Amino acid sequence: MRLDEYCIRGLELREKGGVLGDNYADFYITICRIVGMSVIIGITVDTKDNTWDSGKYQSGLGYSNYVAEAGGIPILLPQRVELVKEYVDLCDGMIFTGGDDLDMAKFGHEQHPKSNLLCQKRQEFETALYNEIHKDSEYPVLAICLGMQLMALMHGGKINQCLPETLESHAKHMNDLKHPVELVVNDSVLNDVTGLTTSYHRQAIEDPGDLRIVARDEDGTVEAIDDPSKPFYLGVQWHPERSARDACGLGTIALVVEAARRYKASRAGSQAQPR
C-alpha cells in the first residue's frame, strides 16, 4: 500500500468515529516523522480583495489541513519575488493555489472584458516561482485551478477566459458544485479520480501548450494536465482542498506529499555522493 493510501484509509476510519482509525492515521504520520521523512510543502497565498493595499494575505484552510493530514508540513509563502530561490530550497514540493483571473497581456493574449484580475504582485511572484522551479526538472508541483491555468500559460498554452459564453454546461463548474471527471490517459501520476470533484471556475484551459491533457469532464472541459517527462508536475482544475477525503480530494493532495518525500530522499542521496 502506498503512503497516501495509508493516510486516506486511516482518515476514512476516523470519520466513522473508530479508535482504530485515529490510531491508523496517527501511526502513519508518526512513522513518517520518526524515519525523518517529513516534508515541507510550500503553499502560495492570495491577497485579500486582490489588492496589495489590503495589507492582508488569505488562504483557504483546506490546503494546509490536507497537507498536514497527508503527513506533510505546510508552509504559507509570502509574495516576495526576491525569496523564490530560498522558498524552493526550503520546500520539498509546491502547491500553486486557486484565485481570480490572470493578466493575459503578460502572455501576449487579449484580456476578456469580464476578467476579475488578481493582484499583480501575486502574478509576478508566482511567475517567478515557476521560473525558479523550472531549473529543477525533478521538483514536485501540484497546481490547482488558477495555478493550473498559470502552469499552462507558462508552457505556451491558452485559456478560455469566459466559459459562460462558450459552454452550455458552464454552471456545473461554479459555486463548489460537484461532478466526476474522467482520465484520458493511463500513465499519469494522477492514476485515480474516483469520487466527485469540487469546482469553482469560469475559465478553463483551451490549449495546454507543451503539456499533456490527462483528464476531462464529460462536457470536454480540461480537468487535469501534466508533464509526463517529469516525476511529478500536475495541474488540476478542481479544488481538492474542498473535495472529500477520497482520490479527488485528500488523495490528490497526498500525491504531492508522497512525491515530495521521494524527491527529498533522492536529493539527500545525491548530496551524500562523494565528489
Helices and strands counted in the chain (H then E): 7, 14
- pLDDT at res. 106: 93
What's the average pLDDT block by block, 10 residues per block, for the chain (275 residues)? 55 59 59 64 94 92 95 96 97 96 92 90 97 97 97 95 76 78 94 85 90 94 96 96 89 96 87 58
pTM, full prediction: 0.85
Question: What is the rounded distance in angstroms from the CA atom of residue 151 to the CA atom of residue 131?
Answer: 11
Q: Cell for 248?
A: 479527488
> Domain 37-272: which topology?
Rossmann fold (3.40.50)
CA distances from 257 to 56, 101, 158, 176, 180 (A): 27, 27, 29, 24, 23
**232 close to 159: Cβ distance less than 8 angstroms:** no
Place of cell 565528489: 275
Question: What is the rounded distance in angstroms from the CA atom of residue 214 to the CA atom of residue 189?
Answer: 9
State the first-to-last Cα distance of the chain, in angstroms, to the nearest integer: 36
Phi, psi of 71 (to 5 degrees): 100, 5
Q: Where do the DSSP E strands lie in the chain? A: 39-44, 46-47, 57-58, 72-77, 93-96, 141-144, 158-160, 177-179, 182-183, 197-199, 204-207, 212-216, 222-226, 233-236
Pairing between strand 39-44 and 233-236? Answer: unpaired
In three state form, how does the secondary structure of 253-269 look? HHHHHHHHHHHHHHHHH
Q: Cell for 123?
A: 502574478
Pairing between strand 57-58 and 212-216? Answer: unpaired
